[in-house]
Amino acid sequence: SESVSAPSHVAIEATGLSHAFGDVVVLDDVTLSVEPGEIVALVGPNGSGKTTLLQFLSKVRAPDSGTVTIGAGDRTRVGYLPQRPEFREGFTVADTLRFYTQFVEEGVDIGTTLDRVGLSGAADRRVEALSGGMTRLLGLGRALVGDPDVVVLDEPASGLDPGMVERLFEIVAELADEGTAVVLSSHNLGPVERTADRVVILDGGRFVATGSPQELVESAGATDLQTAFGALVSTEEVEGR
């Protein structure tokens, strides 16, 4: 019903999210609110629950308990880049993006999206011939088709060469300047420190620290976010993948 939508100044309102796979609790009463134009970075060791939380925020799956409200309700679109983006083989990069425009509106210009993610030169390549990094960029392009108000990116920098990592975080900053709310996970703490408005450190399915990059660095008595992260997270418990 109309009366349950979140206040208009909130892009994502997630409250009391808990989830278990079998006996293993992967998220334990997590609450997060994201404003339009805000960049929130989730950082945490492998297995800390980042992907699961991002799936709940983008509403591709539902938690055992808790609620997620996106913007003004169902009409607000979420662009989602999954950790392992997949595309139907046999189609070109351009045709793939064009396919997804049908779900947003007629006449969307995919050229702008291709330019933005650096795939203009690969527009006629078939998706199965792309490198891992280019596949991720195509996934980013798919998430951005139709200019969603909220963008959720799972490890968008993974597999990108250093120049493209910088470009990726530039794109994220541009989106935020345009008013888009961005939530991403990343192990690239240098760019995260320079770009994120807020960093949430996830460990064992709980938020162990949250604040601006500077706040986290200062509270850990560290010189940079990487060092602060090491001080705040028990990395010997990192679960391998």
Chain residues in the site for ligand ADP (CB under 6 A): 21, 24, 26, 44, 46-52, 239
Count CA atoms closer than 13 A to 2's CA, side-chain side: 0
- Greatest Cα pair distance, the chain, in angstroms, is 52
- Label residues 27-55 b or e (16+ Cβ within 10 Å = b): beebebbbebebbbbbbbbebbbbbbbbb
- For the bound state, the minimum distance from the C-beta of residue 16 to ligand ADP, rounded and expressed in Å, comes to 17
Q: How far is the CB of 53 from ligand ADP (least distance, A)?
A: 7
Please identify, using beta-carbon distances, which residue of 52 and 58 lies nearer to ligand ADP: 52
**In the complex, what is the shortest distance from the CB of residue 56 to ligand ADP, in angstroms, rounded to a whole number?**
10
59 touches 68 (CB < 8 A): yes
Q: How far is the CB of 41 from ligand ADP (least distance, A)?
A: 13
Judge residue 20's burial from the number of C-beta atoms within 10 Å of its C-beta, 0-12 exposed, 13-18 middle, 19 or more buried: middle
CB nearer to ligand ADP: give 42 or 151.
42
Min separation Cβ 207 and ligand ADP, Å: 13
State which residue, 42 or 145, has the beta carbon closest to ligand ADP: 42
Find how far residue 53's CA is from the centre of its chain.
10
Question: Which C-beta is closer to ligand ADP: that of 19 or that of 198?
Answer: 19
Can you tell me whether residue 195 is helix, strand or coil? helix
Work out how close the CB of 89 gets to ligand ADP at its nearest, in angstroms, rounded to a whole number. Answer: 25
Q: Residue 31 or residue 102: which is nearer to ligand ADP going by CB?
A: 31
Closer residue to ligand ADP (CB): 10 or 42 = 42
Q: Which residues are within 8 A (CB) of 137 and not within 5 positions of it... i.e. 6 or more apart?
A: 117, 118, 119, 160, 164
Number of Cβ within 10 Å of residue 221's Cβ equals: 9
Give me the least distance between CB of 98 and ligand ADP, in Å please.
31
Q: 66 vs 146, which CB is nearer to ligand ADP?
A: 66
Q: Label residues 87-106 b or e (16+ Cβ within 10 Å = b).
A: beeeeebbebbeebbeeeee
DSSP letter at 76 equals: S
